[in-house]
Structure formats: C-alpha cells, structure tokens
Structure 1
Amino acid sequence: MKKPLRIERQKVAALFIDLQEEHRHDERYLVEGYDGVLRNAARLQESARRNGIPVFHCAYIVDLADHVRPFHPIGPDGRSAFSDKDDPLTAICPEVAPRASERLLVKNEASAFGKSPLIGELRDAGVQWLVIAGVWTEACVDATVKDAINLGLHVLLVEDACGSGSLAMHQAGILNLANRLYGGAVVDTQAACALLEGSTVDAWQIEGSVPLRFTFENAAELYREL
C-alpha cells in the first residue's frame, strides 16, 4: 500500500545498473522502451547530483578468463554471448554515463554487489537508502535489489527507470520484487526525484508477505497501482 515516505539526503545514494549500448543496438538484448528508461535515469542522476547525493554506476562486462561458471553461454566465435569485454557495445550510454567524480564498478555477474567493494563504500558513506534503476528488471536489477536487502539497505526501486526485453517481463519483475521489498519502497521517477529533493511523497511499501497475488489478467493493473 502507499504510505508517506521521506528520506534523509545524507543517508541515500543512487545506483544505475547496466545502462549499456548493447540494450539498444544488439537485437538479442534490446530493452523495450529503452529510450524512456534512459531519460528517466538521466533525470534521477541530475536530481542526485544537484542535491549532493553519491551516484554509482555499474556495467556488466564478461571476461571469460575470469569467468568460471560452467554453463555461461558462448557464441560461435568463442566469446561471451553477451557483454563480452571486447564488445564496444558494453559502453554505458552517453546520456547516463558516469562523470569523472563518480564511481564506475565493472561486474562479471548479475548483482552489483557480488565480489565488488560496493557495500563497503556505501557503508563508509553512511548510506542507508539505495535508489536503484537499470536493466534487466528480472535479472541484474532483481539480483542487486535482493542482495541490497540482505545486506541491510533500504531500497528505493524506481519502476519506470528500469526495463527488460518486454513490458510483460519488466512488469512481472517489478511485481516480484515489490512482493519482497522489505524495508523499501517502489516509486516512479517523479516521486524519486522529489524524495532526493527532501520532500515527502506517497510511496508503495510492502505490508505483510507476498501481498501482490498477480495473474496474467491483472498484472498490468497491479503494476499501474504501485
């Protein structure tokens, strides 16, 4: 249900996940509505920077020499089937690219936490709330959100600044996360920017356990109500 939420700006950071060129140029990994996702992510970044909120970025780049998963998909050329280290499409899209002063983390797995120093850096900065946006909703965003919760962070999930291969995949991914977003909230970009400005907004926050019992018929409607 929606309840008033306010976040102390001194205790929040923003994380942008895998906003890379391959999701608008590689036909295998196109994100539906990606231009809109990028526009909303750019709005979030602008708001965070204006309010002195730390901005973190991560990029999925696979180096098979350092990648030990036995079933990782390999292309006919022997390279990773996605996000290969030698593919120029792993570059972050310029409209949401890191500034020189911002942290860019390269990851070799779904979660932005994994083996990275991210959680230590967030704790050192006193961060309690993590604003999360990026792609793909049901994959790297999902893994990162769940790790963040397990590590004791409150997650502000910005639903219209995330995306996936189809709208249905994205909406189901957001609903699944909302069902387990303990200690966090789901908002749209406008509300997220207001929170970063220090305002109080009505935000969807979980009550109980798995409250969103969605079906093929009602998933889109429940998503719109978040």
Structure 2
Amino acid sequence: MHEDLSLPLGRTMLLPIDMQEEHRIDARYLVEGYDRVLANAATLLDAARSSGVRVLHAGFRRDFTRVPPRPFEPVASDGTPIFSDPDLPGCAICPEVAPHPGEDVLWKNDLSCFSEPGFDQMLDHPDWLVICGVWAEACVAATIRDAVARGIHVLLVKDAVGSGTTDMQKSAVINLANRLYGGAVCDTQTAAALLSGETRPAWHLVGSAPLRYTGDTIAPVYDAL
C-alpha cells in the first residue's frame, strides 16, 4: 500500500551499487536500458548532494589477490576473473555517476556490500538506505536483504535499478518488494523529492509476500509499486 514517507536526511544514505562500464561495453553483462538507469541514478545523486545526504558508492572488483576463486566460480582460460576484473577498463564506475571528491567508495569482492569487511563501519548505522544500481536480482538484492537483517530501512528506487532484461529487472523489484520489511519502493522522481526533504507517498509492504504475478502481469504489478 502507498503511505506518506519522509526521510530523516541526517540519518539517510544514498548507495549506488556496481554502476560500472562493463554493463554497457561487455556483451556478457549488458544491462537493458542502462542509460536510463544511469540517468535516474544521476538524478538521485544530484538530489542527495544538494541536500547534504551522504553518498557511499559501491563497486565490484573480483580481485583474486584478496579473495581467491571460490568453489565452482567460473574463470577465464588464463585464470583471470571473467567479470569485474580490476585490471580491465570495464571495472571503472561510469562517469555519469562517478564519485565526487570526499565521497566514500567501497570495492567489494562478493554480491552484498555487507560481505566486505569494514562496510558496517563505513555506513555508521544509518536509519535509511536509498538504493539504486545493478544487477537488481544479484548485488542489489543481496545488499538489501543484509541491510534489512541489520534493522536498516531500505528505499528501493525501482527505475534506478537494472538487470539483463526489463522483465528480469521488474521481477526482481517485485520479489524484493514482497519481503522489504520496514522499507519502501518508489520511482526516481519520488525518491529525489524525498532526498530533498519533501514528504511523498511511497509503496510500503503490508503482510508477507502480497504481490503475485505471471509473465503477462509483471508490468502492471511493477507499475503499481
């Protein structure tokens, strides 16, 4: 259901996740509609910076010198990472959403930001995390679930997250919304207003897993969030 929401700006943080070049230059990891996702994330960044909301950027670097290949993890024929190789240009954060001086950057070796030692300390116990980024069903989802488990409220900005296809993105958002205890879902326009100190309606979870969909109804269920 939709209820009015306002964010405690001094206890809120914007967390863009894995908004890196490989998602638009590597055919294996392309995100559908990535330019739109980046533009929406840039809007959120502008709003947060204008109102003094802290920004913490997260990126994925699969660094085998720090965390060796895990069991069953695919690697290239030469033994290097097949994704987020820190030695390749695709690992760089896209310039549209690049960190500003003074903004913290977390480079992680696994899906969830919370898997990286020290991330909890970097967060400094916010009340709310406003989350955008890619991929919705992977690093975004893992981070959200770990945040909720720590008692942090999450605002998921549905059109500022992406995946391999639009249906994958929408399905991931719906599945996250079904278990987003204590959190909310909204679009970029609403989130930017909230980050500017306004009060706006946002979708809040009531009950457990209230959203049901089929292949034919993904879009309207997503649109209603």
Both proteins in one fold, TM over 0.5: yes
2:19 aligned partner = 19
Deviation at 1:192, TM superposition (A): 0.3
2:110 aligned partner = 109
Q: Which moved more, 1:203-212 or 1:72-81?
A: 72-81
C-alpha distance after superposition, 1:68-116 (max 9, x if no partner) = 4111111122211111121111000011011120000000000011123
Question: Which aligned runs of 4 or more in structure 1 are off by greater than 4 angstroms?
Answer: none
Pairwise mapping of residues 179-218 of structure 1 onto structure 2 (< 5 A)? 179-218=178-217
2:22 aligned partner, one-letter code: E
Pairwise mapping of residues 81-100 of structure 1 onto structure 2 (< 5 A)? 81-100=82-101
Q: CA RMSD in A?
A: 1.0
Structure 2 stretches lacking a partner, 5+ long: none
Deviation at 1:118, TM superposition (A): 2.2
- How far apart are the structure 1 equivalents of 2:69 and 2:32? 30
Identical columns (%): 51
SS of 1:113's equivalent in the other structure is helix
Provide the TM-score with structure 1 as the length reference: 0.96
- How far apart are the structure 2 equivalents of 1:187 and 1:23? 23
- How far apart are the structure 2 equivalents of 1:219 and 1:119? 34
Pairwise mapping of residues 64-213 of structure 1 onto structure 2 (< 5 A)? 64-65=64-65, 66-123=67-124, 127-213=126-212
Provide the TM-score with structure 2 as the length reference: 0.97
Q: Which moved more, 1:50-59 or 1:210-219?
A: 210-219
SS of 1:43's equivalent in the other structure is helix
Pairwise mapping of residues 2-81 of structure 1 onto structure 2 (< 5 A)? 2-65=2-65, 66-81=67-82
SS of 1:157's equivalent in the other structure is strand
- How far apart are the structure 1 equivalents of 2:24 and 2:148? 30
- How far apart are the structure 1 equivalents of 2:68 and 2:116? 12
How many residues matched?
Answer: 224
Deviation at 1:128, TM superposition (A): 0.3
C-alpha distance after superposition, 1:13-71 (max 9, x if no partner) = 10010000000000000000000000000010010000001000011000123234111
2:122 aligned partner, one-letter code: E
SS of 1:20's equivalent in the other structure is coil
- Give the conservation status (yes or no) of the 8 Å contact 1:67–1:108: no
